[in-house]
Structure 1
Amino acid sequence: MTAEWLAGIMAWMRVEDPAEVAAVALTCCGVWGLFRLGELVVGEDGFDPNAHVTRYRIGRCWVRDRLTYTVRLPRTKTQHQGETVVLTQQDHVSNPIGMLAVHTSTNPTNNPAGTPLFAYREGSVLVAMTRTKFLDLMAVLAERAGLEKRTGHSMRIGGCTSLLKKGVPLEKVMLQGRWDSNSWKRYVRDHAEILAPYLVGSETGAEDRA
């Protein structure tokens, strides 16, 4: 799920479908924030405001004239005390800040503390976005756009490649993805495609300096 892939499916998103809007907003945030899919969806056991990210857990501030969101995760795979992820405006159609605004206006709530971040309207009620529902929606959008289907884990991989292609330094990508040096090395060994744009960029830079 790279930025280019996202642009492709967004062209086919039905803005009148609250579930599709929520799923695309989730993907935009997931890619640029390097989230694990499980941090943004609700499991089959149901919603728990103490374990899942809610609308209330979003902070907003301006940094160098760019609107920035902080997303407080109450619990993660590696940090049971929770972690904070930063989302910044991107000069791309998949800008997570803009897509979150579309999502929250399409799927409003009067109870942000008790509403999953990516809950969507189904009739008169808000429904939590589950992993199964999300992947089903992504498969539909990919087919509609004529693109290959992607797995949930490809969101984090695609985010890495998108940031590296933008020229974001490797250490900042590691920081955004919440990797230490050892876990990053293991991750790259398992997903070697992440480094491809970085290595290509380095080669191009070397040629320019020659």
Structure 2
Amino acid sequence: MTSDWLNKVIPAANLNDPKELATMAAATCGVWGLFRLGELVIGDEGFDPVRSVTRADIKTEIIDSQGKQILAITVRIPRTKVNRQGESVVFVNQPPPSDPVGLLTLHTLRNPSSYPAQTPLFAYKEEQQLVPLTRQDFLTTIAEIAHRVGAVEIHGHSMRIGGCTTLLKKGMPPDRVMVHGRWDSNTWKRYVREHAEVLAPYLATELQATQDRS
């Protein structure tokens, strides 16, 4: 699940459908934020406002980058499988349709909550009430949307791997990808060894740059 994959699939989604909007917003945030799927959706254990990401855990701000105003969103993960103190993830606007800021903003506007601290981040409207986007809901819905355009089937880990591939292909150095993905150096090395395809686009880009300079 890369940004290219999302750019192919998102136009096939019905963004007026609350579940499809929540699903595509979660997928896009997941790719650009290098989230684990379980950090964004609700698993078999159910929703726990102490452990799960809620609407109250997001912050939107405008930051200045070399004189240019950029809209950024910070998502606070209360607790992860490797850090019980929680971690924060920041992502910014990207070209549509796979813009995580735009889709997350649209999702929260169309699926509003009066109790943000008690509402899962990607909860969506169903029969006039908000229901959590579960892992199974996410996988089933995104598979249905992908099928409409003949896109390859994805699995739970595709989001994080695809996000790495996307960022490296766009020229982000591996050490910055490591920090953005919240890996320590040893875990990052092991992750790359287990998923060799992650570094392939970066190596190809570096090789092309070397050839262009020679």
TM-score band, normalised by shorter chain: over 0.9
Q: Where do residues 129-208 of structure 1 align in structure 2 (5 Å cutoff)?
A: 129-208=133-212
Q: Is the CA contact (8 Å cut-off) linking 2:11 and 2:97 kept in structure 1?
A: no
For residues 14 and 83 of structure 1, the distance between their equivalents in structure 2, rounded to whole angstroms, comes to: 32
Q: Match of 2:15?
A: 15
Aligned twin of 2:57:
57
Q: Over the residues paired in the alignment, what is the CA RMSD in angstroms?
A: 0.8
Aligned length: 210
Shift of 1:91: 2.5
Equivalents in 2 of 1:208, 1:92: separation in Å?
Answer: 30
Map Cα deviations across residues 112-167 of structure 1 (whole Å, 9 max, x no partner).
Answer: 11100000110111000111110000110111111111001010000001011111
What residue in structure 2 maps to residue 94 of structure 1? 98
How far did 1:92 drift?
A: 3.8
Range moving further from structure 2, 16-25 or 37-46: 37-46
- Deviations along 1:89-122, one digit per CA (max 9) or x if unpaired, are 1134211000101111121111111100000110
Query: What is the match of residue 32 of structure 1?
Result: 32
> Hey, what's the Cα distance between the residues in 2 that align with 1:20 and 1:190?
32
Please state how far the C-alpha of 1:18 moved relative to its aligned partner: 0.4
2:164–2:198: 8 Å Cα contact kept in structure 1?
Answer: yes
Q: Tell me the SS of whatever aligns to 1:118.
A: coil
In 2, the alpha carbon distance for the partners of 1:28 and 1:188 equals 22
Task: Tell me whether 1:121 sits opposite 2:125 in the alignment.
Answer: yes
Q: Distance in 1 between matches of 2:12 and 2:112?
A: 23
TM-score w.r.t. the length of structure 1 is 0.98
Q: Give identity over the alignment, percent.
A: 53
Runs (4+) of structure 1 exceeding 3 A deviation are none
Q: Which segment drifts farther, 91-100 or 1-10?
A: 91-100
How far apart are the structure 1 equivalents of 2:197 and 2:187?
16
Paired residue secondary structure (1:11): helix
Question: Which runs of 5 or more residues in structure 2 are unaligned?
Answer: none
